[in-house]
C-alpha cells in the first residue's frame, strides 16, 4: 500500500503521524536529495547534514504543503535552500576565524573535490561558480530535471533559470580552459 501510494497521499499520512509514510518519502527521495546537496556543496559530510536537515524540514512542514507543486519539487526546493543556508553559515564561520579558515580551506579542498564523483578539475570549476549558477547546472544538467521544474525548485522565472544555466556553462568552460593552461 505504501510503496505504490501517490506522494500527496503519503504526505497527508505523514501529517497524521504515519511514520511508515514518511519512511517511504525518504526512500523515494533521499538519493536525489543527497546527490543535489553533494553537487552543490562538494563535500559528503556536509551533504549528509544538509540531507538530514532537509528531511527534518519536510517532516515539520508537511502540514503546510499546499500541493501547488509536486511533492518532489517541494522537497528539492527545501534541499537547495538548506544547502544555501549551510553555505551561508560556513562563510560566516570562515569570516569569524579567518586566519585558521584560510589554512583549512587549502587542506580540505582536495578531499572535497575527490568526494563528489567528478574529476578534480571539473569539481573545482563547478564549486567556483556562483551558487545560483551552480544550483541551476546541478539540477538541469546533472540531475536531468527539466528547466520548468528547475525554475519551480529554485523559485525563479523560467527565463532566469535558462540564463543561469547557459551563463553557468559558459563560466564553467572558461574555468576549465584556464585550469588546463
Partner 1 sequence: MRDHEIELIAGLAEGTLDDETAARALIESSAEALAEFQAQKSALTALSAALPAEMSEHERAALRRDVWTALGKESQPVVGTPWYYRLSYAAAGLLVVVGLVSVLNRPGDDERAGLSRTETAELSADAADTTIAQAGEDETMRDADGDALGGGAAPDTTSTMSLPPEEFFADEAQRVRLGQPQDPSSSGDGQLEEDTVCVDTAGLSGYRVVGEVISDTEPDGTAVTFIVAVPPGGIDDSTPVAFVLADRCEVATIER
Q: How far is the CB of 109 from partner 1 (least distance, A)?
A: 18
Q: Which grid coordinates belong to 86?
A: 549551510
Site residues for partner 1, 114-133, by CB under 8 A, read 116-119, 122, 125-126
Q: Which of 12, 94, 142, 160 binds partner 1 (CB under 8 A)?
A: 142
94 binds partner 1 (CB under 8 A): no
Contacts of 164 (CB under 8 A, 6+ apart): 132, 133, 135, 136, 137, 154, 156
Print the binding letters for residues 40-69 with partner 1: x by CB under 8 A, - otherwise.
----x---x--xxx-xxx-xxx-xxxx-x-
Buried-exposed string 147-181: b where 16+ CB fall within 10 A, e elsewhere: eebbbbbbeeeeeebeebbebbbebbeebeeeeee
Calpha distance 99→118 (Å, rounded):
29
Print the binding letters for residues 144-163 with partner 1: x by CB under 8 A, - otherwise.
-----------x---x--xx
The stretch near partner 1 (CB under 8 A) out of 1-9, 34-42, 101-109 is 34-42
Q: Angle 71-96/44-61 helices, nearest 10 degrees?
A: 130
Contacts of 15 (CB under 8 A, 6+ apart): 62, 63
Residue ranges binding partner 1 (CB under 8 A): 26, 30-31, 34-35, 38-39, 44, 48, 51-53, 55-57, 59-61, 63-66, 68, 74, 77-78, 81, 88, 92, 116-119, 122, 125-126, 137, 141-142, 155, 159, 162-163, 165-166, 168-170, 172-174, 176-177
Amino acid at each position: 500500500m505504501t510503496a505504490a501510494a501517490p506522494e500527496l497521499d503519503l504526505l497527508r499520512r505523514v501529517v497524521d503521524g504515519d511514520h511508515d509514510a514518511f519512511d517511504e518519502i525518504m526512500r523515494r527521495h533521499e538519493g536525489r536529495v543527497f546527490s543535489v546537496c553533494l553537487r552543490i556543496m562538494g563535500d559528503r559530510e556536509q551533504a549528509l547534514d544538509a540531507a538530514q536537515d532537509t528531511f527534518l524540514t519536510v517532516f515539520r512542514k508537511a502540514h503546510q504543503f499546499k500541493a501547488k507543486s509536486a511533492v518532489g519539487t517541494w522537497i528539492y526546493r527545501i534541499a537547495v535552500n538548506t544547502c544555501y543556508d549551510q553555505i551561508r553559515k560556513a562563510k560566516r564561520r570562515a569570516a569569524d576565524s579567518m586566519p585558521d579558515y584560510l589554512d583549512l580551506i587549502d587542506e580540505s579542498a582536495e578531499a572535497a573535490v575527490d568526494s563528489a564523483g567528478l574529476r578534480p578539475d571539473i569539481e573545482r570549476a563547478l564549486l567556483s561558480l556562483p551558487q545560483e549558477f551552480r544550483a541551476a547546472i546541478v539540477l538541469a544538467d546533472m540531475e536531468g530535471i527539466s528547466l520548468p521544474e528547475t525554475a519551480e525548485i529554485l523559485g525563479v522565472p523560467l527565463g532566469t533559470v535558462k540564463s543561469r544555466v547557459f551563463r553557468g556553462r559558459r563560466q564553467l568552460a572558461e574555468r576549465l580552459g584556464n585550469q588546463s593552461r
